[in-house]
Chains A and B, each alone.
Chain A
Amino acid sequence: MYKQYIELYGQTADTICGHSCSVMNARRNEALERLAKAQENIAPATDGPMSENIPLPVGKTFGPEKYAHTDIDALLAPDYGLNLNRLKLDVNPYDVFHCDVPNMSTLLYFLVNDQYYDNPRDNSQSLPEGVFVGGMLEFAARFPEVAAKYYDKLASEHEDGVIALNTVLAQDGFVLYVPENIKVEKPIQLINVLQGDVPFMVNRRLMVIIENGAQAKLLVCDHNLSPAQFLATQVTEVFVGENAFFDIYELEENSVYTNRIASTLIRQAAHSNVMSNGITLTNGVTRNNYYVKLEGEGAETHVSGMAIADGDQHVDNYSFIEHAAPYCVSNELFKYVLNEGARGSFAGRILVREGAVKTEAYQSNKNLCMTDEARMWTRPELEIYCDDVKCSHGATVGQLDQQAIFYMRARGVTEKEAKMLMMFAFMADVIEQVRLEPLKDRLRQLVEKRFRGDLAKCRGCTDCGSL
């Protein structure tokens, strides 16, 4: 399955490199080797231990990342188009998104397919001096040492074939760089726009560097504009320095024909604090990987997510939290509401290394299956090589409380509305995690709309852009 991409790179390496930058090009060959290795390691089709007797697609690729419940092969199989020549798309995302709301309080950036959209509106005046927000190519030109120091540092640690594939093919991307002790007050918003009319593959690369004592918040929205089939791979490398704060919120509102395989790789130094929250509202097949490495003492990380899925939607979140230093705290909360034939999967691995004393690691995954057809797989995985730690995990799959529904109906609330109120209540604590008040309000509205079925069509930034 990676074969066609290895061949593609063989034939088009010059084009790919010619339209990229040396920092990215320098990492391709090594990634190609990892990709070849991932191809060799593809196991024959077997049922994983959790998939016994379940006649649903089971991925054939087993690696440390265990794509057990998402059929990666099928996602990679089509003959996608790629924009290797970096032809400019005739899209003005501002027109599409009507984002020029005067009181908008985020700084807006776009990746159109996987190309950084050269912003005619200069946000730099609103940014503190020294902060860079923009395209990968410009960043590599202006800060070559910083770019080379960080680019692919985390991604190259992974055997995951999709991450390697992204490194081999990605030609551009988005960078947020906040130097020491600078606090970016305004939230940064990146909108991933997809457009095309044939099956298309995009490989997005994001890099976030928050140096010691710095602070920033990033909101990434996925929006699909067209009904063509898309596969988006995305690799986000996040480096958070000592005493630094960083929030990343990802909101996916794609068409049902859009499939996404995303990996967010986070490395945290001492006393840093990171919040990541991934929200899937509409999509086709989505797989999100979260790798968090707590390297410095006293680091704190929150990894949360929610999925609201119906029809044939498929949402698979995998997290791997590594406690490599003492006194770190990790807190995970993932919630799913699955309707109709939707499928969800959550696997959360926590590794507490030797010497990581006083670790606190908490994990919770709660799910509602609203129909008999909906399927949820959930699996915690704790590996603890240290005494003196506090770890807990819990997973539930259930239905709405019938007594509560009857109670509300007996007061005149319709069955539909009673369920709505309860589903909304179910998701409330994930929204509560958000450390950005206006986003919280926006999410409440979006989630409610989603439950009411009013989100069939993407409304772009009228919903999430004008915070």
Chain B
Amino acid sequence: MLLEIKDLHASIGDKEILKGINLTIKPGEVHAIMGPNGAGKSTLSSVLAGNPAFTVTKGEALFNGKDLLKMSPEERSWEGMFLGFQYPVEIPGVSMVNFMRAAVNEHRKYKGEEPMSASDFLKLMREKRAVVELDNKLANRSVNEGFSGGEKKRNEIFQMAMLEPKLSILDETDSGLDIDALRVVSEGVNKLKSQDNATIVITHYQRLLDYIRPEFIHVLYKGRIVKSGGPELALELEERGYDWIREEND
């Protein structure tokens, strides 16, 4: 089992947003989480990545059999968790190169490996940039600063490629992408897929699912997973919207 979430509750301030999430993910699986705006999808991904803005009030999460909730965000990353942000953060003055070098070397340190040489590192950057066709110019700029919406999303997948995570949570990585970029990014995700890793895509659109083809679809509504099914569930949502989910649950 890669990830096991049991009855997870989380709040921000005194507002409870996640109200009992249960979810199990095995290596090699691809899951999609859908659900109306404000349902708690980004909150779930933030909580799994360890965003200190949220407080877990109840429940548990095991990642590779280890207590995920006890780990710092960086430890979760070293253990193989990756969050592709819905809104990637701009960090003026911090170059992509320095940021990625720090990240890669911390991962290596955790595995007991030596830091990468400068030339090996640049080679790795070049190789992984190709996966998402990320312009070299972007890689030389400050993190996300002045990147277009689509460029930011490509940059997320580039970082995923650099870090080779076990579990990738991609929060609306498809939004803001033009048709070509959507194809490039989806193909990038598919290339990185293996028997040992798993992916959760959070999306509102069937388009992405046509490329990535998840086996499991979950509907998150008001802080709970209210429905789970196969690919046909996504098609049904595409056709019928969320009204019937609301009716069933309110």
Chain A residues within CB distance 8 Å of chain B: 401-404, 406-415, 417, 421-422, 424-426, 428-429
The answer, yes or no, to whether B49 is at the interface (CB within 8 Å) is yes
The answer, yes or no, to whether B24 is at the interface (CB within 8 Å) is no
The SS class assigned to the A binding surface is helix
Q: Are A414 and B94 touching (Cβ within 8 A)?
A: no
Query: Could you list 6 further interchain pairs (A-B, Cβ under 8 angstroms) beyond the known A407-B85, A415-B74, A422-B91?
Result: A407-B143, A409-B72, A410-B49, A424-B94, A425-B94, A425-B142
Q: Are B163 and A412 touching (Cβ within 8 A)?
A: yes
Which residues of chain B are near A406, meaning CB under 8 Å? 49, 51-53, 73, 89
The answer, yes or no, to whether B102 is at the interface (CB within 8 Å) is yes
Q: Are A407 and B74 touching (Cβ within 8 A)?
A: no
Q: Are B89 and A401 touching (Cβ within 8 A)?
A: yes
Chain B residues within CB distance 8 Å of chain A: 49-53, 72-74, 76-78, 82-83, 85, 88-94, 98-100, 102-103, 106-107, 110, 142-143, 159, 163
State in angstroms the CA–CA spacing of A413 and B74 once bound together: 6
- Give 22 CB contacts A-B under 8 Å: A403-B89, A404-B90, A404-B94, A406-B49, A406-B89, A407-B85, A407-B89, A408-B103, A409-B74, A410-B49, A410-B82, A410-B83, A411-B77, A412-B78, A413-B106, A421-B94, A421-B98, A421-B99, A422-B91, A424-B93, A428-B93, A429-B93
Report the nearest A residue to B107, measured CB to CB. Answer: A412
Report the nearest B residue to A422, measured CB to CB. Answer: B94
Q: Which of A402, A410, A413 has the most CB of B within 10 A?
A: A410
Given A401-B89, A415-B72, A425-B92, verify A409-B107 contact (CB < 8 Å).
Answer: no
Q: Are A402 and B53 touching (Cβ within 8 A)?
A: yes
Q: Are A425 and B91 touching (Cβ within 8 A)?
A: yes
How far does the Cβ of A412 sit from chain B's closest Cβ, in whole Å? 4
Report the nearest B residue to A411, measured CB to CB. Answer: B103
Q: Are A411 and B51 touching (Cβ within 8 A)?
A: no
How far does the Cβ of B55 sit from chain A's closest Cβ, in whole Å? 14
**Which single member of B52, B74, B93 contacts A414 (CB below 8 Å)?**
B74
Q: Are B50 and A425 touching (Cβ within 8 A)?
A: no
How far does the Cβ of B3 sit from chain A's closest Cβ, in whole Å? 16
How far does the Cβ of B227 sit from chain A's closest Cβ, in whole Å? 29
Given A404-B89, A414-B74, A417-B106, verify A409-B94 contact (CB < 8 Å).
Answer: no
State in angstroms the CA–CA spacing of A77 and B92 once bound together: 45
State in angstroms the CA–CA spacing of A462 and B94 once bound together: 27
Which residues of chain B are near A401, meaning CB under 8 Å? 89, 91
How far does the Cβ of A209 sit from chain B's closest Cβ, in whole Å? 38
Q: Are B91 and A411 touching (Cβ within 8 A)?
A: no
Report the nearest A residue to B79, measured CB to CB. Answer: A412
State in angstroms the CA–CA spacing of A413 and B94 once bound together: 13
**Which single member of B73, B91, B93, B110 contacts A410 (CB below 8 Å)?**
B73
Which residues of chain B are near A417, meaning CB under 8 Å? 102, 106
Report the nearest B residue to A429, measured CB to CB. Answer: B93
**Which single member of A404, A409, A415 contacts B91 (CB below 8 Å)?**
A404
How far does the Cβ of A431 sit from chain B's closest Cβ, in whole Å? 11
Q: Are B88 and A421 touching (Cβ within 8 A)?
A: no
How far does the Cβ of B139 sit from chain A's closest Cβ, in whole Å? 15
State in angstroms the CA–CA spacing of A404 and B92 once bound together: 10
Which residues of chain A are near B51, meaning CB under 8 Å? 406, 410
State in angstroms the CA–CA spacing of A399 and B67 once bound together: 31
Which residues of chain A are near B163, meaning CB under 8 Å? 411-412
